[in-house]
Amino acid sequence: MSAKIIDGKQIAAEIREELKAEVAELKEQGVVPGLGVILVGEDPASQSYVTAKERACETIGIFSDDNRLPADTTQEELLKLVNRMNDDPKINGILVQLPLPKHIDEAAVLLAIDPDKDVDGFHPMNVGKMMVGEKAFLPCTPNGVVQLLLRSGVETAGAHVVVVGRSNIVGKPVANMLLQKKEGANATVTLCHTRTKDLAFHTRQADIIIAASGWPNTITADMVKDGVVVIDVGVNRVEDASRERGYRLVGDVDFEEVKEKAALITPVPGGVGPMTITMLLFNTVESARRAHGLA
Ligand code: L34
């Protein structure tokens, strides 16, 4: 059996069409959603993600305010910019692309973002609300994973989901979202990480695996059961001299092998990545609606 591929690009395109129509409606009411974008430093992957986010904003009609700051930007300068965006009524969402340079305290910066403009869902206020099941901005990659499952008709209620990786951006929040008592969740969740004993023991029990370790080939065919659903969150650049840019992208899953056992699997690229960007657009539109009392 060879798996059916979950086409993240296609699903993302569908949601973006829906959002485009919503933005057009908001514009008729005089509302243009705005996203403040901040990138510190020149990390090539971050640059490409941020550029893709700004392009996506443009295609659906969201205004974006691009701020590319040098790597030696001080924390004080960065906080000043965040505060200016907090006070700017044209800005409904603030994106501070991570990771930040080491001399900047990431937690302090995330804490400075107005929770009502925290479209990444990283502010402790939103993280806490999410955890207790209150309405909150949901973080983009985890929400993208949940939307992929929902729109692919995967039943999560009662399913055993094994999440591999405990980052604040993906592992911890996606595990939490999937155990909530609500539609698209209700799963039994196991969260594995670098100190897990016998990872394969856990992944072999999984109905759904969410791979977010940040390492290629973390999940191999011997580690999964037949018919598993695999969501690969990894985006790893591996050297490849045959490619013009010198590398290719692979996920955290050995795709070629695992797809022979899985029922459904996401590719990399073209799986979770496009959904991350789309959920940022979704949150920004939602934030604009709330700011104008239209939510
Ligand atoms: N603040 N920082 C903040 N918010 C986020 O949501 C992110 N993340 C992660 C890193 N730092 C962040 C992203 O934007 C990861 N991430 C992200 C966004 C987009 C893509 C991958 C990761 C993406 O579009 N991936 C494409 C391939 C892109 C390429 O060719 O390089 C894909 O199809 O997977």
In this structure, which amino acid lies at residue 137?
F
Pocket of ligand 1 (CB under 6 A): 48-49, 52, 95-98, 120, 140-141, 169, 235, 249, 268-270, 273-274, 276-277
Let me know if residue 23 belongs to a domain.
Answer: no
Cα(43)–Cα(50) distance, rounded to whole angstroms? Answer: 11
The yes-or-no verdict on residue 275 having pLDDT over 80 is: yes
Answer yes or no: do 96 and 148 share one domain.
no
Cα(103)–Cα(178) distance, integer angstroms:
34
The domain boundary residue, chosen from 81, 116, 151? 116
Is the residue at 1 inside a domain?
no
The pLDDT, as a whole number, for residue 248 is 97
Domain boundary among 56, 84, 116: 116
Find the radius of gyration of the CA atoms of the chain: 19
| In a domain? residue 97 | yes
- How far apart are the C-alpha atoms of 267 and 264, rounded to whole Å? 10
One domain for residues 43 and 157:
no
Strands 247-250, 236-239: pairing is: antiparallel
Tell whether 260 and 145 lie within a shared domain.
yes
Q: Check whether residue 162 and residue 196 sit in a common domain.
A: yes
Same domain, 248 and 163: yes
Quote the pLDDT of residue 95: 99
Average of per-residue pLDDT values in the chain? 98
Ligand 1: which atom is nearest the Cα of residue 9? 33
Confidence of residue 280 (pLDDT cuts 50, 70, 90): very high
Which residues form the domain of 57?
32-116
Q: Check whether residue 255 and residue 179 sit in a common domain.
A: yes
Q: Is the pLDDT of residue 1 over 80?
A: no
What does the pLDDT read at residue 264?
A: 98
pLDDT band with cut points at 50, 70 and 90 for residue 281: very high
> Which residues does the annotation mark as catalytic?
53, 97, 120
Give per-residue pLDDT as tens, 282-294. 999 999 999 999 9
Q: Is 88 part of any domain?
A: yes
Helices first, then strands: H and E counts in the chain? 10, 11
172-200 average pLDDT score: 98
81 with 144, same domain?
no
Query: Which residue's CA lies nearest to atom 10 of ligand 1?
Result: 98
173 and 86 share a domain? Answer: no
In a domain, 162, yes or no: yes
**Shared-domain flag, residues 144 and 112:** no
Q: Evaluate whether residue 4 is within a structural domain.
A: no
Q: Of all protein residues, whose CA lies closest to atom 1 belonging to ligand 1?
A: 97
* Structural domain includes residue 256: yes
Chain centroid, CA 79 distance in Å: 23
Strands 188-192 and 229-232: unpaired
Same domain, 147 and 264: yes
Say if pTM beats, i.e. exceeds, 0.95. yes
Cβ neighbours of residue 146 closer than 8 Å, sequence gap 6 or more = 138, 174, 177, 178, 184, 185
Name, in order, each residue with C-beta under 8 angstroms of 17's C-beta and a sequence gap of 6 or more.
none
Q: What are phi and psi for residue 34, nearest 5 degrees?
A: -130, 135
CATH of residue 179: 3.40.50.720
In a domain? residue 129: no
Give the rounded percent of residues in the chain with a pLDDT score beyond 90. 99
> Could you tell me if 108 and 146 lie in one domain?
no
**Ligand 1: distance of its center to the CA of 79 in Å?**
23
User: Same domain for 173 and 240?
Assistant: yes
3-state helix, strand, coil in the chain (%, to 5): 40, 15, 40
Q: How far, in Å, from the CA of 280 to the mean position of ligand 1? A: 11
- What is the count of structural domains for the chain? 2
b/e burial code for range 258-295 (CB count within 10 A of at least 16 → b): bbebbbbbbbbebbbbbbbbbbbbbbbbbbbbebeeee
Domain CATH code at residue 98: 3.40.50.10860
Helices 171-179 and 124-131, packing angle to 10 deg: 30
In this prediction, residue 295 carries a pLDDT of: 86
